Structures are given as C-alpha cells and as structure tokens.
Amino acid sequence: MGQSRQEKVVTSLAAGVGEEIDTLLARVDAELARRYPGDPGTRQPVHTVYVPGDALTAGTVRDWGRQARALLDAHAPDAAALAAVLGLADDLAEPVYARVRAKLEREPVEDLRIDFEDGYGLRPDAEEDEHAARAARLVAEAHTAGTAPPYTGIRMKCLEAAVRARGIRTLDVFLTGLIEHGGLPGGLLLTLPKVTCPEQVTAMVRLLEAFERTHGLPAGRLGFEIQIETSQAILAADGTATVARLIQAAEGRATGLHYGTFDYSACLGVSAAHQAGDHPVADHAKAVMQVAAAGTGVRVSDGSTNVLPVGSTRQVHDAWRLHYGLTRRALARAYYQGWDLHPGHLPTRYAAVFAFYREGFEQAADRLTRYAHRSGGAVLDEPATARALSGHLLRGLDCGALDTAEVARRTGLTRADLESFAAPHRGTPTASAPWPS
C-alpha cells in the first residue's frame, strides 16, 4: 500500500486579518474573563448549619454531632434500619451508614453560620453587642484549638433602613473581635440577608472596603454570600434578572447565592403549608440564580426544610425521608449545598450526599479514565463532560463520600489530575475532538 497523499494547504485571507480580529475582540475577551472567571476550585461545604447568636457555645459543633448520633442510635441503630427508612440500595447501606457515623464523629458540621437575623430577632443593643463579641472569641478559640468547622461566619441583619445600623455594628463587633483575637481565620464566611437591589450589595462592598482599610488588610480579603429571599432579587421592576446584577455589584466579593425558602415563598404569597424547596416558585428562583451564577465563581445554595426530626420514631422517620428526598432532589439539580436547622438533619444530609456520590462513583471514574486515556466506550465524552465527571469525584472526596485510595485505584489519576480536568487552564481549547468513553 502506498503512502497517503499529502494535501496542499491553501489560504486566501490577507495577512493581518487575525490581528484585526484580536483587536476587535480584545475588550470583550477581557470582559468575559472578568465576569466569568470560573469556579474557584475550592471546597464547597455540603450544608450550612444555622445557630442563633445567643445559643452558640464552645461545644455547639460537638453537641450537634452527639445529638445526631443519639438520634441514629434511637431510630436507626444499624445500616439495615437506616436503609429501610430511606430506601438505600443493599450495596450502599453499609458504606453509607459507616461514613455517616464517622462523619458525625469527625466533622459533624462543615459550615457554621452564627445567626443575628431571623433566628436571633431584635434584642437590646448591649445584648447583641455582647453576643457578637462572644461569637468572635469562640470562633477564634476554636480555630486556635483546631476544633473549628472548615467554614464559619455570621449572618448579620440586612441593610434595610430599619435595621441597617444594627447590622453594620454587629458585623463590626464580630470582625473587630476576630482581629483582636489573632486575625481573620481561614474559611470565614459572611451572609447578607434580604437583598432586594444591587445598591445594597454595593453598600456591603463599601462597608468591607472600609474595614479592610482600617485594619490594613489586603483589598478583597472579605467576601460575602448574598441571600435571595425577595421576589425583587430575582426579577426587577423593569423585567431584568436582578440576581445577575447583584453578582456584578459585588465586584468580585460574592462567594455564594443562598436561597431563603420561607421568606421567598411567603413573598410570593405561597401558603405556609406549601412553603418548601420543591415548590414551583422555589424551582424557578433557583434556576434563575443558577443561570446568573454560572461561570462567575459564585456558588448556589439551596435552602432548608422546617420539618424537624423530633418526637416518635414514626415522626422522625417521616422527617428524615422528607429531608433525604429534598436533598437528593437538590443534588440532581446541581445545588450541592443546603441549609440544616437541627442536629437531626445531619444524618440524612450526609446519607443523601454520600449515597449520591457513591452511586455515581464507578460510572464517573470509569468514564473519566477512558476519556483521559482516549480509549473507547459506549458514551462519547468531551471536555465539558470531563469537567462534570471530575467535579463529581472531587466533591465526593471533599465531603468524605469517597476515599482518595479508592478513586486512585479505580482511575489511576491523582487529585491534581482531577483538578486539571475540573478546571482546565483558561485559554486552552475546549472544543477539541471528543473521545468515546
């Protein structure tokens, strides 16, 4: 067989056309890079636990874990019992249950939010000052002792006129207290609630800038989450998507959009009996949030359920099934974080998360391995799919659903390899020929 014929390559565009196109698109290239930097690649907590500012103690996180384990002991003392309640597959029951128990011992809370808003209410100024100062001291002491959750922070009161001064003061007391007790810790998160317009987000940016200047902190050291609890935060009076403008108004400081289940649904007139994370108004709001945040590096969090696992075994099981189902539903919709309001929510939060990542583990690992080695398979994957597959494995590793050894054994890939697929270097081609897997 003879050698293949070498094709003659001919072009017709004049020299310099490419440079003209580069010049034409330079501004939009820079603007896209600024507005859509991509996911930061850091760990995202699977939940945020809310504790009122006056209820926080040095043992809060440990106590939540203890209470969650006690509920398991009383109402699902082994893997078979929990599997029967939640409908776990036989092959998942033991590994999920074992991981839930271990998580409740080792790291029962991934993200703790000390609440000075709805869960705290209005108090005399001196009382709230004291609680904010104590919160700062307890957070600093936990970080020094190595007992702090990966993420901790406060939810201040909003910037509406009636409570604006109180919200600013509480934030100041808390942050200044942290500085006085050794500095701002890693994993610090701040939550701004009841946002209705971009100007409130801009005001929060200016407030944090002032604090950074006062204490000589690097510009941009302080970020914050925007809580979506009002209809105006989704749709403005002129018909535009306010939430997209909120992200831009944060000037790179927004870290998350958190959906407020009950305030938002009440704002739309949903009756109390139907206020839930799977109501159509909730689905619409979170879908708009998700699209607005895509590519910006701002992460979306689901809200909570107010049905608590307390009372008889039947009541606890009913509440667990509800919470488990809502959490699994959110995960399938790519809302990888939610709120938990009671220690009894921890077993089903982790059961849902661990089951989700373990169910998808083998398929994700095998498809990514075939993609990485350009080998054949039944699914034609491409770079975008590889990002999703590696993201699944990384999130599973971060929360404890998966172990590093089993991922490496199944894929032959390191964490650095997974991260390279999850967040390819900006500017590398993403439309290269797909490889079957």
For residue 106, pLDDT over 50 is answered with: yes
Domain ranges in the chain? Answer: 47-344, 362-436
Class for domain 47-344, per CATH?
A: alpha beta
Query: What was the pLDDT predicted at 427?
Result: 38
Longest dimension (CA), the chain: 92
- Taking a C-beta distance cutoff of 8 angstroms, is the pair 434, 381 a contact? yes
Q: Taking 90 as the threshold, does the pLDDT of residue 306 lie above it? A: yes
Distance CA 230, CA 413 (A): 44
Q: How far is Cα 407 from Cα 396, in angstroms, rounded to an integer? A: 10
Q: What is the pLDDT of residue 380?
A: 56
Question: 1 pLDDT exceeds 60?
Answer: no
pTM of model > 0.95: no
Give 142-148 contacts, CB < 8 A, sequence gap 24+: 142/58, 142/61, 143/182, 143/185, 143/186, 144/182, 147/61, 147/62, 148/61, 148/185, 148/187
CA 106 to CA 197: how far, in whole Å?
A: 40
21 neighbors 84 (Cβ within 8 angstroms): no
Q: H helices of 36-156, where?
A: 60-75, 79-86, 90-106, 125-145
Confidence band of 208 (pLDDT split at 50, 70, 90):
very high
Q: Output the pLDDT for position 310.
A: 97
Residue 384 pLDDT level (bands cut at 50, 70, 90): confident
* Predicted confidence (pLDDT) at residue 304 exceeds the cutoff of 70: yes
CA distances to 127, 140, 175 from 137, in Å = 15, 5, 10
